[in-house]
Structure formats: structure tokens, C-alpha cells
Amino acid sequence: MEVIKSYLDNIFMNLPKNKEMERLKNEMYYNMEERYHELKIEGKPENEAIGIVISEFGNVNELLEEMGIDPEENKGDYTLIDVEESRKFISLKNKTSRLIGIGVGLILLGVSLLILISLLVDRNLILQTLPKNTRETIPVIILLLMVIPAVVLFIYSGTKLQKFKFIEDGQFDLTSDV
């Protein structure tokens, strides 16, 4: 089934991305999937079944013409990215995911500490010697100490990724040279 999926992905890659096209693509995928299963039931080997399904797809330009879409029109809108740039994006994405993970961890840790320390303070188990106000403020300060670096990490990741926003939005084409 992966073959059929990537076949369709390839065909739809350069076409406008909207609800109508998404619906059409899904519909065609269902049809091809069903046809494939039917051929398998008839006893066709997998490769032959996939071959038949793809040969029965037809020519996409016929369809685009009817839908009033110029197949060449959308190509120019997208930025081309090459292998090096996609590697850069992937490693940056890995790095920022880690940073965001750390940020979330810090916030969770801060909240846990806030609850823990407040409890200990309430039960007079720690900081007994300090005045009441200070004792109540310390847990909040610890929370802030955790939240501030987390926010910094979020903002940093966001700005780094901003440059590659078009990739996240799917508005790109891959160059064919590898």
C-alpha cells in the first residue's frame, strides 16, 4: 500500500493544497486501495496488483484541465530546497525539539517544587527560622527561576525555526539533484 500512497503523494505534491484536493486525493486512495484488495483476492501477486492499480490511474492532466487547474502554475510559488538545506532543517528541528522538551521539563519541575516546598513550609518542616512572608515567597521564586529559562528556550527555538516556516507549512519543492 505504501507504493500507492507515495505514488499519489508524488502526483499531488505539485498541485494546489486545499480541502477539495485533499478530498479528491483521499477518495482516489480509497478507490485504489479497494481495487488492490480485490486484485489480491483474485489471486494476483502483490507486484502485479500494484502495477495494475497504477496503470488504471490514468493521466492527471486530464483531470486538472477539467478542474481548471494549470499544472505548471503552482510550481513557481514554492521555494526549492536541496539536500543540504533539508539536513540543516532536520538537525535544527531535532535540536529545538530537545530544547522545547527541556523547557517543558523545567516548568513541570518548577510546579512540582512549588507544591513540595509550600507543603513543607506549611507543615513547618523547613525554613522555620525565616519570617512568614519570606517563607511564602520562596516557593514562588523557585517556580519563576524555572519558568524564565523555559520561556527563553521557547522563544529561542521559535526564532530559529522562523526561517524554515515555509517548510513546516509544506510550501516547498525538493530539487531532484542528490
Partner 1 sequence: MISSDVIRGYNDTIILSLLIQGDSYGYEISRNIRTITNEQYIIKETTLYSAFARLEKNGYIESYYGEETQGKRRTYYRITPKGIEYYREKCKEWNLTKNVINKFVKELDDNGSY
The residue ranges that bind partner 1 (CB under 8 A) are: 23-24, 27-28, 30-32, 34-35, 38, 56-60, 62-63, 65-67
Q: Please state the closest distance from residue 173 (CB atom) to partner 1, in A.
A: 22
Q: Please state the closest distance from residue 23 (CB atom) to partner 1, in A.
A: 7
Q: Please state the closest distance from residue 44 (CB atom) to partner 1, in A.
A: 13
Catalogue the long-range contacts made by 162-169 (C-beta closer than 8 Å, 24 or more residues apart): 164/89, 164/92, 164/93, 166/78, 166/79, 167/81, 167/86, 167/89
Which residue's CB is nearer to partner 1, number 31 or number 94?
Answer: 31
Is residue 102 within 8 A of residue 137, CB to CB? The reply is no
Residue 62 φ/ψ, nearest 5 degrees: -55, -45
Which residue's CB is nearer to partner 1, number 27 or number 48?
Answer: 27
Residue with cell 535544527: 92
Which residue's CB is nearer to partner 1, number 64 or number 107?
Answer: 64
